[in-house]
A and B are shown apart, each in its own frame.
Chain A
């Protein structure tokens, strides 16, 4: 089971948090802080697994994380998940896909990044269990959903989009908003998970 998925930046500011177990808002923040504390002090060239998060789970649990550019992607899982498997899930499904589609979505739908990632996550992991690992399948489903959304917006959505477009005219702002955008994909020498 996956207990939580956290994405935060180099300063520990949460960019996305998804808990598959109930924690109060305060505990959630505490967990994020603790996880950031644990993860951020690790060097670049060490392994991507970490034990000893006190708040979330006990000895059975592990943190599996990846650090990309300014973001940390952390999965908190228990012993029934395969470590390298999850690592690959972060790599292939979340990051590579995010990279390829990010600009497209931001520009087309003015879709907020957090919701975009939430949607990917929803197709990938459900209730703490891995739902789909096939990247193409996920992309297909997300595309279909966004299409549906676009068709719903139709005429009524047009002005809102126009306004968003104007609001986004401040171009230098954009790259800062898109955190995944400036990731340089340097894939470590992992055997691919195919």
Chain B
């Protein structure tokens, strides 16, 4: 056998291994592809061999090739073979290869289910680990469903290494198989309090990832996370929790109040800047609900400024990132740092510049828009990389067009900015500029004249823009220019010239869709020229222009683009016909212009979707009976509600008087009223205000258009900036004058948007009457936000209410046929896992199982009811003093296996002090009274220290009962030989330890003291004194309070989950000593009894059968303690086994005491 193996290895050594492959690829630089294909052939040969080592080697090489971009899916089956090798070495290679190349589409993946299940339950933890890691990369819905239960079981594995991996992979399972979330959630929650920090962090990770998508379902976990936040020292966990709170606080404003304090504490505690950054952002989101915290925001922003000014680029970036988060809620406090942000625009780092740009977006106001855009324009000129320049361009447009052009006061300026932007070469965003031009020209009526003149200029200079066509995105603006000139041709002053510009032969080099628009709009232009000429009686000129069209149009008829060709030939025929009519001296202009009559309205992007379906119309019904053939697919009934944007039937005002706006409005209104085809827009505030009486009283400042219009060449937006400034100044003066005269009723009529304006901004009125037409929505459109959600969002499936009790149907599928020994986990809620079942008995057994399930279910329901009652109670008695009640609650808490770290109680305290009463609190408290006098009450709890086997932590809560101020508290104990208080270095055994806080009246706080011990087998008592100064109005007195600190044996125990098989092994091992007790007169239910033992003595339930349960715990020094608890009718007997007999007997004595009080 061994010989054979050696022989196999010798064979193997002549194969290429991975290193040879890498080296080979490097040596064949010139013909890499050829070399690799040769290698792949070799690999195929190797895969055919029986020797698993050879196969593994081949798979190893394949994995490398996959990384280089070669498809290796053909070897999927071989990979599975290697995965199922018994040796870890090969298994690891197999799983790695699988994780790199398997995906949901891999068909052989379902073959892996059993292999993975086998590996998951392997005794070797690394087999399990490697399987989990691999699975995390290629889990499919099927695998998730089949393996969910196995992974659930692994979540309470004895090894933290497996536990943490199992917890983490659950997230992937949830994603693929959302039904598993509810059954698995209780256990996941439990893992938040796992003794192992790695497992804890994994659980936090998973829950945060889940909560990020659907935060509202996780609100009930807030107190738990609160506790973790104050106790955790792991920064990863802290960051995650803080991010989680960031998502939770908008949903629960009360949480914000709670968080402010601990978060501020954290800021003080950690100078660590990473944390600072995320902390601040959360602080901000918290306080968004509370206006009185703006001071703290101000502080944050100032601190951030320091970060941004830091020389470290990373901190600068993060500072800006945090700043942008503040901006969303507190724009004002950020706006004061405009100088800094603008400075960042000059940074050499692109990431930082982009961040700064982002910030600018939120910082603009009516006042500073022009200034900011001007700065940005300078940057556009300077920018080298096209990516960054494009980014700048989109940002400029975003900034200007945000919230319906809210900040633009002068649209002439904006148009000229857009025109200036067209000078950018090689930008990808030509269509963006074009869209903006169109939008502004259509929606801002007053600007049309100006826009048309600018567009005409663009068309004239088209050769500059379209110099190197095709690749050049900027030529898109010609599309807009042509359309605007055609559509609003009545505003054109020199229409002839523009028409000629459009007819230039060069135009044919433009992309097809632009040419098409050219052709269409030429006719519009032509129509309006024709009308002009006819009205002027200049028949010759009219014929001339017709002739020009007929001469030039054929170049478009020859176009390769179908659309252009079709339009051009149509129009050519039309014009030829017009020419005929003209020769007969028939006036045609009216008719030609009628071709393009009609008002154009912008339609909201969602309008189509919102058209309500008329009553009685079933869109899914067949209009005609479907033909029986399969061809019917092509003949789906077309919707008759196609609300097309009537590009071709253009609006036209019959008579246009540019100067008198009132008259034009009147005319338009009338036309709308008479036009049966006019779709009336839904009554919007903007529309309505046009009709309000008194519009005429508003001072309409007419800009002297003659100046900007005659600017030769390209316009400079700067001029408009100057003009605008002058205008504003003038306006201000006028306003001041008018204010004295005018009555109040005219207030506020001038605003397009009345939402976000600050006082100072309101003073700036738009340059001229700007009617922004609202986008049209169909009448009775249903307002809904649903359409924003993507129905395919994978996270939507995880939006599950987690607080509802589990239903029977929600159990995870369990593999019934499996013969392996299933493990009974400590959690009674775990789905039932069958024990060894022999086939004939199977049915019977299943039946029993079901009954058991039902029983459990009922029990659970009962508990839920109880809990709810408790909750109600607790909200009645708001104060926490009722110790009894607390204990009751803790009894009720069925899952009392939960460990409680020392700081847990701290949270209980702080939360209860406040208003968060109806949050489900972790009601456990094992605090016992230490000492009490009229001034102060001390309660304490002792916890074993996980990291150190000879230390325990004593948490003492000091509560000030008096009306005086307590300060200079000092705690001292008399050390015994065995137990010593840990004092700071250099202090003697007689020195006390100062309590790190002072207590105002009625306040309580907690301090922790560490004690070292040598032997833990016996309970200990230490005498101690607390000295403190009482300060009130009458003066201060020195007071003392003596106490006795009782270290019970139970306080040395740490709740440790244990598996039944490990438990059985432990009992079998025979190195445990045994002892037992019996307590009579027990009346409480077994469930409560167990809960009590778990809670007060830090045990966990290993297995429970009827009225018999086995329990386990471990001392800080590693003593195993096993218990078998049996309940008779009125008595309880406890058999204990422990590696130390003294410890055991002491423990049992304590337990007796606890139970006898029941």
Tell me the A residues contacting B by CB distance below 8 Å: 1, 14, 16-18, 20, 22, 25-26, 28-29, 42-43, 45-52, 80, 82-85, 87-88, 110, 112, 114-115, 118-119, 122, 126-134, 137, 141, 144-145, 148-149, 152-153, 155-160, 162-164, 167-168, 173, 176-177, 188-191, 193-194
- Bound Cα distance A183, B312 (Å): 22
A137 in contact with B205 given A52-B387, A157-B9, A164-B17 (CB within 8 Å):
no
A112 touches B133 (CB 8 A): no
Which of B86-94, B590-598, B606-614, B1072-1080 faces chain A? B86-94
Q: Quote the shortest CB–CB distance from A7 to chain B (angstroms).
A: 10
In angstroms, Cα B60 to Cα A125, docked, is: 21
A138 to chain B: closest CB distance in Å? 10
A55 smallest CB distance to B (angstroms): 14
Partner of B126, one of A16, A48, A49, A144: A144
From the candidates A26, A29, A119, A188, name the one contacting B312 in the complex (CB within 8 A). A188
Question: Does B678 touch A at the CB level, under 8 Å?
Answer: no
Within 8 Å of chain A (Cβ to Cβ): is B755? no
The 8 closest A-B pairs by CB, nearest first: A127-B136, A47-B313, A46-B349, A163-B13, A84-B274, A29-B69, A22-B103, A156-B5
Distance between Cα atoms of A25 and B106 in the complex (Å):
14
The reply to whether A130 and B205 form a contact with Cβ atoms under 8 Å apart is yes
Contact residues in B for A156 (Cβ distance below 8 Å): 2, 5-6, 8-9, 53
A122–B348 touching, CB < 8 Å: no
* Stretch in contact with the other chain, from B350-358, B819-827, B1044-1052: B350-358
Measured CB to CB, the closest approach of chain A to B66, in angstroms, equals: 7
* Closest beta carbon of chain B to A25's beta carbon, Å: 5
Q: How far is the CA of A173 from the CA of B19 in the complex (A)?
A: 11
B165 neighbours in A (Cβ, 8 Å):
126, 131
B314 contacts A85, C-beta separation under 8 Å: no
Q: Return chain A residues, CB-CB under 8 Å to B271.
A: 191
Known: A115-B18, A173-B23, A194-B235. 11 other contacts (CB 8 A): A46-B351, A80-B208, A82-B243, A122-B96, A127-B136, A127-B169, A131-B165, A141-B161, A155-B2, A155-B5, A156-B9
Interface size on B, residues (CB 8 A): 84
Contact present for B272 and A148 (CB under 8 Å): no
Q: Show 9 residue pairs from A and B whose CB-CB distance is below 8 angstroms, ordered by the A residue.
A: A28-B69, A83-B314, A127-B171, A129-B206, A131-B202, A156-B6, A159-B6, A159-B13, A194-B235
Out of B19, B201, B209, name the residue touching A1 (CB < 8 Å): B209
- CB neighbours (8 Å) of B13 from chain A are 159-160, 162-163
B residues in contact with A52, CB < 8 Å: 354, 387
In whole angstroms, what is the CA distance A163 to B20 when docked?
A: 12
Chain A hits for B312, CB < 8 A: 188-190
Within 8 Å of chain A (Cβ to Cβ): is B927? no
Q: B157 interface residue, CB < 8 Å from A?
A: no
For the complex, what is the distance from the CA of A149 to the CA of B88, rounded to whole Å?
Answer: 6
Q: Given the known A-B contacts A46-B349, A82-B278, A133-B236, are A110 and B19 also in contact in the complex, defined by CB atoms under 8 Å?
A: yes
Cα-based distance from A80 to B271 in the complex (angstroms):
22
Can you list, as one digit per residue, whether each of B655-667 has a CB less than 8 Å from chain A (1) or not (0)?
Answer: 0000000000000
Q: Are B133 and A149 in contact (CB under 8 A)?
A: no
A115 close to B235 (CB less than 8 A): no
Please state if B60 and A126 are interface contacts (CB–CB under 8 Å): no
Contact (Cβ within 8 A) B314 A191? no
Question: Given contacts A80-B208, A155-B2, A159-B13, are A114 and B88 in contact (CB under 8 A)?
Answer: no
Question: How many Å lie between the Cα of A52 and that of B388 in the bound state?
Answer: 10
**Contacting residues, chain B, for A137 (C-beta < 8 A):** 198
Confirm or deny: B1043 has a beta carbon within 8 angstroms of a beta carbon on chain A. no
Bound CA–CA A126/B273 (angstroms): 26
**How far, in Å, is B1012 (CB) from chain A's closest CB?**
24
- Bitwise, B237-275 to A at CB < 8 A (1) or not (0) is 001100100000000000000000000000000011110
Shortest beta-carbon distance from A3 to chain B in Å: 12
Chain A nearest CB from B1120 CB (Å) reads: 24
Complex interface: chain B residues within 8 A of A188 (CB): 312, 314
Question: Is B132 in the interface zone, CB < 8 Å from A?
Answer: yes
Q: Are the CB atoms of B273 and A84 closer together than 8 Å?
A: yes
With contacts A25-B69, A50-B351 known, is A152 near B136, CB below 8 A? no
- For residue B93, give the distance in angstroms from its CB to the closest CB of chain A: 8
Do A177 and B314 form a contact, CB below 8 Å, given A126-B169, A144-B126, A191-B272?
no
Residues of B within 8 A of A163 (CB): 13
Q: Which residues of A contact B88 (CB under 8 A)?
A: 145, 148-149, 152
- CB atoms of B89 and A152 under 8 A apart: yes
Neighbouring A residues of B23 by C-beta, 8 Å: 173, 177
Distance between Cα atoms of A146 and B446 in the complex (Å): 77
| Inter-chain contacts of A176 with B (CB < 8 A) | 26
Interface check B12, CB cutoff 8 A: yes
With A25-B69, A144-B126 already in contact, the answer to whether A84 and B318 are too (CB < 8 A) is yes
User: Which residues 60-92 in B have Cβ within 8 Å of A in the complex?
Assistant: 60, 63-64, 66-71, 87-89, 92
CB pair A193 B235 closer than 8 Å:
yes
Chain A neighbourhood of B129, CB < 8 A: 141
On chain A, the residues within 8 Å of B66 by CB distance are: 25
Q: Are B348 and A43 in contact (CB under 8 A)?
A: yes
In the complex, the answer to whether A47 meets B316 with C-beta atoms within 8 Å is yes
CA distance A84 to B165 in the complex (A): 24
Give residues in B with beta carbon < 8 Å to A: 2, 5-6, 8-10, 12-13, 17-20, 22-23, 26, 53, 60, 63-64, 66-71, 87-89, 92-93, 96, 100, 103-104, 124, 126, 129-130, 132-133, 136-137, 139, 161, 164-165, 168-169, 171-172, 198, 201-202, 205-206, 208-209, 212, 234-236, 239-240, 243, 271-274, 277-278, 312-314, 316-318, 321, 348-352, 354, 387
- Residue of A whose beta carbon sits closest to that of B212: A80
**Known: A127-B169, A131-B164, A193-B274. Contact between A148 and B126, CB under 8 A?**
yes
B318 contact set on A, CB distance < 8 A: 83-84
Contact: B168 with A126, CB < 8 Å? yes
A129 pairs with B168, CB closer than 8 A: yes
Docked Cα-Cα span, A79 to B89, in Å, equals 36
Using known A-B contacts A47-B313, A85-B274, A148-B88, determine if residue A130 contacts B137 with beta carbons closer than 8 Å. Answer: no
Once A25-B71, A127-B169, A149-B89 are accepted as A-B contacts, the answer to whether A47 and B272 lie under 8 Å apart by CB is: no
> Is the Cβ of A115 less than 8 Å from the Cβ of B274?
no
Is A191's CB under 8 angstroms from B168's CB? no
A191 and B273 in contact, given A22-B104, A127-B137, A132-B164 (Cβ under 8 angstroms):
yes
B351-A82 in contact (CB<8A) = no
CB distance from A29 to the nearest CB of B (A): 4
Q: Please pick, from A84, A155, A157, A164, the residue contacting B19 in the complex, using a CB distance under 8 A.
A: A164
Q: Are A49 and B236 in contact (CB under 8 A)?
A: no
- A190/B5 contact (C-beta < 8 A), A25-B69, A131-B165, A145-B126 known: no
> Which residues on B sit within 8 Å (CB–CB) of A132?
164, 198
- In the bound complex, residues from chain A placing their C-beta under 8 Å from that of B124 are 148
Residues in A with CB closer than 8 Å to B314 are 47-49, 83-84, 87, 188, 190
Distance of A88 from chain B, by nearest CB (Å): 8
Compute how far the CA of A132 lies from the CA of B162 in the bound complex, rounded to whole angstroms. Answer: 12
B206 CB contacts on chain A under 8 angstroms: 129
B89 CB contacts on chain A under 8 angstroms: 149, 152-153
Which residues of B lie under 8 Å from residue A26 when comparing CB positions?
69
The contact of A51 among B209, B236, B354, by CB within 8 Å, is B354
Contacts of B172 in A (CB 8 A): 127
**Contact, CB under 8 Å: B10 / A159:** yes
Q: How far is the CA of A20 from the CA of B169 in the complex (A)?
A: 12
Bound complex: CA A137 to CA B133 (Å)? 16
Check A25–B70 contact: CB distance below 8 A: yes
Bound-state CA distance A41–B317 (Å) is 18
CB of B1121, distance to nearest CB on chain A (Å): 27
| Closest A residue to B171 using CB positions | A129
Q: Considering residues B8, B26, B235, B350, which has the most beta carbons from chain A within 10 angstroms of its beta carbon?
A: B350
> Are A82 and B274 in contact, CB atoms less than 8 angstroms apart?
yes
In the bound complex, how far is the Cα of B89 from the Cα of A149, in angstroms?
Answer: 5
Quick check: A145 and B20 within 8 Å, CB to CB? no
- Residues of B within 8 Å of A122, CB to CB, are 96, 130, 133
